[in-house]
């Protein structure tokens, strides 16, 4: 019997937290029973394109986020659902345009329309304000709802019922620790033996607060002159972040490493992980860092439900000195129980995949009787 095909609806599939979670599930799910296809709102090469196709997924790329041609977008949606009658389930991770694609799916008879909330707030700019207005109508055509946290679900779905599904990761991959590989990577990055390597993984956007991160790092450097800062990611504010590092006098101590496929190795090269985001749903990178056993220093704006391991400290965003004091006073020892704690809290991706697979199969059976 052929697998059921579920259409995952995304902005695109670059290396962000939401996208990484969907790919983690895709790798772990039984693809002989459930297969994923993808609908993008950008027509561009993306980080996960090759892997999606290698796993058997099909990708449809639209251009509405590039050309803002709404009539063409609506026509393309209608054609897509008219042509692909095999889609009985669509899973929308992009709330801003959900008012359009869910309505199109409903009109073409797609009976299961899932919404998934991955965040607790919107970007503090014009795009964020537009997203808030458009997302307000996301809930209307949904039949089922998931959220990465209670707070994320309440933000997007209000009083409508939803299921909390933690952002699981491959805990086996993050638990593996090779001291020789760590030493080689640190040498490759130019980090001297004994230097303190702080790390962050995230897109260069307002939400991730790289400006605040650099001010925290500058405060740390006053206590630990041997500190280095490793930044993984790309994004629209990268050049602005580089310029701020120059103004703060820390540019020669910051490593801009871009997007990497072997992110696990970089966590193992770090001595501590910093996450000063303005807001998050349930950050995949924080789950990854904890699973790798790292001490984590996290903004108090982030839901404390994201902390499942020992060694996570929440700190006020407005006080870089408090972060520096916390780092200076911490042992920075790795957590040997990290994987056990991740498994106990339900943060292994195999748990996430089992829950979603059971949901897809059950709902598919209900609507195809």
Q: Parse the chain into domains and list their residue ranges.
A: 4-168+348-367, 171-344
Q: Which CATH class is domain 4-168+348-367?
A: alpha beta
Name the more confident of 129 and 161: 161
pLDDT of amino acid 120: 82
Name the more confident of 120 and 157: 157
pLDDT of amino acid 219: 97
Q: Is 216 in contact with 323 (CB distance < 8 Å)? A: yes
The yes-or-no verdict on residue 122 having pLDDT over 80 is: no
The yes-or-no verdict on residue 121 having pLDDT over 80 is: no
Q: Give the rounded percent of residues in the chain with a pLDDT score beyond 70.
A: 100
The yes-or-no verdict on residue 315 having pLDDT over 80 is: yes
Span 30-58, average pLDDT: 97
195-252 pLDDT per residue, tens = 999 999 999 999 999 999 999 999 999 999 999 999 999 999 999 999 999 999 999 9
Q: How confident is the model at residue 127 (pLDDT cuts 50, 70, 90)?
A: confident
Q: pTM for this one?
A: 0.90
The yes-or-no verdict on residue 367 having pLDDT over 90 is: yes
Query: Are both 4-168+348-367 and 171-344 of the same fold?
Result: yes
What whole-number distance in Å separates Cα of residue 282 and Cα of residue 296?
14
Angle, vertex CA 129, rays to CA 203 and CA 140, nearest 5: 105
Span 323-342, average pLDDT: 94
Residue labelled with tokens 């041609």: 69
The yes-or-no verdict on residue 123 having pLDDT over 80 is: no
Q: How confident is the model at residue 319 (pLDDT cuts 50, 70, 90)?
A: very high
pLDDT of amino acid 107: 97
pLDDT of amino acid 86: 97
Span 70-80, average pLDDT: 97
Among 3.30.300.30, 3.40.50.300, 3.40.50.1220, 3.40.50.2000, name the CATH number for the domain at 171-344.
3.40.50.2000
Span 103-114, average pLDDT: 97
What whole-number distance in Å separates Cα of residue 257 and Cα of residue 228?
13
What whole-number distance in Å separates Cα of residue 140 and Cα of residue 334?
45
């Amino acid at each position: 019997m052929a697998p059921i095909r579920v259409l995952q609806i995304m902005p695109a599939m670059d290396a962000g937290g939401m996208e990484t979670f969907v790919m983690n599930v895709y790798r772990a799910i039984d693809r002989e029973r459930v297969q994923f296809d993808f609908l993008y709102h950008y027509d561009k090469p993306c980080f996960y394109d090759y892997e999606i196709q290698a796993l058997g997924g099909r990708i449809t790329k639209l251009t509405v986020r590039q050309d803002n041609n709404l009539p063409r977008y609506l026509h393309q949606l209608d054609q897509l659902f008219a042509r692909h009658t095999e889609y009985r389930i669509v899973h929308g991770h992009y709330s801003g345009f959900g008012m359009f694609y869910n309505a199109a799916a409903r009109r073409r008879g797609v009976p299961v329309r899932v919404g998934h909330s991955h965040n607790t707030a919107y970007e503090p700019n014009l795009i964020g304000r537009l997203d808030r207005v458009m997302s307000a109508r996301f809930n209307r055509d949904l039949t089922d709802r998931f959220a990465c946290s209670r707070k994320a679900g309440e933000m997007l779905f209000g009083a409508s019922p939803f299921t909390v599904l933690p952002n699981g990761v491959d805990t086996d991959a993050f638990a593996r620790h090779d001291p020789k590989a760590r030493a080689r990577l640190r040498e490759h990055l130019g980090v001297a033996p004994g230097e303190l390597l702080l790390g962050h993984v995230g897109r260069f956007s307002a939400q991730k607060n790289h400006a605040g991160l650099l001010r925290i790092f500058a405060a740390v450097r006053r206590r630990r002159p041997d500190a280095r800062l490793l930044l993984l990611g790309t994004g629209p504010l990268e050049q602005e972040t580089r310029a701020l590092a120059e103004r703060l006098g820390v540019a020669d101590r910051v490593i801009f490493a871009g997007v990497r496929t072997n992110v696990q190795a970089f966590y193992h090269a770090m001595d501590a992980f910093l996450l000063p985001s303005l807001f998050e749903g349930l950050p995949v990178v924080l789950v990854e860092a904890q699973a790798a056993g790292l001490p984590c220093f996290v903004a108090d704006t982030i839901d404390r439900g994201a902390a499942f391991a020992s060694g996570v400290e929440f700190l006020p965003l407005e006080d870089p000195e408090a972060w520096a004091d916390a780092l200076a006073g911490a042992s920075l020892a790795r957590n040997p129980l990290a994987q056990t704690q991740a498994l106990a809290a339900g943060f292994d991706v195999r748990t996430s995949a089992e829950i979603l697979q059971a949901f897809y199969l059950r709902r598919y059976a209900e609507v195809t009787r």
